[in-house]
Amino acid sequence: MLFFVMGAAGFALTWASLDEGRGQLLFFAVLFYCINIATLLVALQHYERKTYQHNYLLYGFMTALLACLTLVKSIEGLVLIEVLVGLTLLPIALRTVIGGYAQYKNYGIALLGIAILLQFSNTLFQIFWLLTLDNRLIVFASSVFTQAVSFVFLGLGLTASLLIDEQRKLAELTVMDPLTELYNRRGMTQIMNADIDANKSVNVIAIDIDHFKKVNDTYGHEGGDVVLTEFARLVRSLARSTDVCCRLGGEEFLLFASDSSVSHCEKLAERIRSCTEQSSIQYDNYNISITASFGVAGLQTGESLESLIKRADEALYIAKQQGRNKVIVAPVS
């Protein structure tokens, strides 16, 4: 709503300033412009995964420019401030929009891109006007009108992108485990059935943390949650980016590897087993050591996902029977 209000106010002030004797209203139009650009930069932080120190320096620079507005008496001076703001902030905002769109595939961000391009083209237009100094009021008025239009795009873009983000988050909740941020059983089923239907080579590793009940009894459920989270992070770090990691519930996990071999999954399971055994998880003042057992199975011709998981579970059960902290490969039937 802020951007819609600012856009409407900018348009109204531009129209009013065309009347003789009301040129001072352009001061407020420029003020709206600077405030909107500053607000845009803050809003775009929603799409930044990292905090960049130069952004805080830019906030300070913006504050100084806004303070200068109270001292400027000429239209040229006001335009120069707009140019400085645009040249400084808009490239950073554009980079953020492009990065956000590439990461989130959010089409609402495309509207933000249109608004930013309008703002940036307006900045170039203002530089040209400063050099020519012809038809000052009309040219500047059309410049502020461009700002008003871009503010409408900003409002639409931010509204659409935030709504799409919320829908995406709600959709993820149905297929993701909130604790470990791995896929849950529903998400796993959707992805792996698609791979099986595509006749891909699919292999699965069934994983179970050994004696997890003892961890909960010793360190409480909060300590157990830390162990689950850190173990999930370890599995993700060792798996390929194309592998699908899932938490079925409790201490049970599944790792699916498409376009791979059983021997590859056996080596991967052994690497995860070894790293788990050698690692230590910190919780409060405790160093928690755990081990895990693994069952590996490869998809056979005509086999269903349920049958594949069952054979991996049977291999996992054998690993537990043989003393845990082992990797067992299911036999080919």
pLDDT score for 319: 96
pLDDT score for 194: 75
Q: What is the pLDDT of residues 23-71, one digit of tens each?
A: 566 667 666 666 666 666 666 565 554 444 455 566 666 666 666 665 6
Task: Give 234's contacts (C-beta < 8 A, 6+ positions apart).
Answer: 272, 275, 276, 279
pLDDT score for 29: 66
- Mean pLDDT for the chain? 77
pLDDT score for 56: 57
pLDDT score for 235: 94
**DSSP label at residue 19:** S
CB 305 within 8 A of CB 190: no
pLDDT score for 53: 47
pLDDT score for 80: 73
Q: Work out the percent of the chain whose per-residue pLDDT is above 70.
A: 55
Using the predicted structure, report yes or no on whether residue 98 has a pLDDT greater than 70: no
CB 238 within 8 A of CB 271: yes
275 pLDDT tier (thresholds 50, 70, 90): very high
pLDDT score for 191: 79
105: left (phi over 0), alpha (psi -120 to 50) or beta: left
Q: What is the pLDDT of residues 284-310, one digit of tens each?
A: 888 999 999 999 999 888 888 888 899
pLDDT score for 207: 96
Lowest mean pLDDT among 106-110, 138-142, 151-155: 138-142
Active site residue 251: yes
Question: Positive or negative, the Cα torsion across 22, 25, 26, 29?
Answer: negative
How far is it between the farthest Cα atoms of the chain?
Answer: 93
pLDDT score for 51: 46
24, 26, 138 from 72: Cα distances, Å: 11, 12, 20
pLDDT score for 33: 62
Given 48, 166, 172, 251, the catalytic residue: 251
- pTM listed for this prediction: 0.54
- The better pLDDT of the pair 132, 294 is held by 294
What's the residue count for the chain?
A: 333
333 pLDDT tier (thresholds 50, 70, 90): low
d(C-alpha 306, C-alpha 181), whole Å: 23
Using the predicted structure, report yes or no on whether residue 18 has a pLDDT greater than 70: no
Q: What is the pLDDT of residues 233-267, one digit of tens each?
A: 999 999 998 888 999 888 999 999 888 889 999 99
224 pLDDT tier (thresholds 50, 70, 90): very high
What's the mean pLDDT in 135-139? Answer: 63
pLDDT score for 120: 73
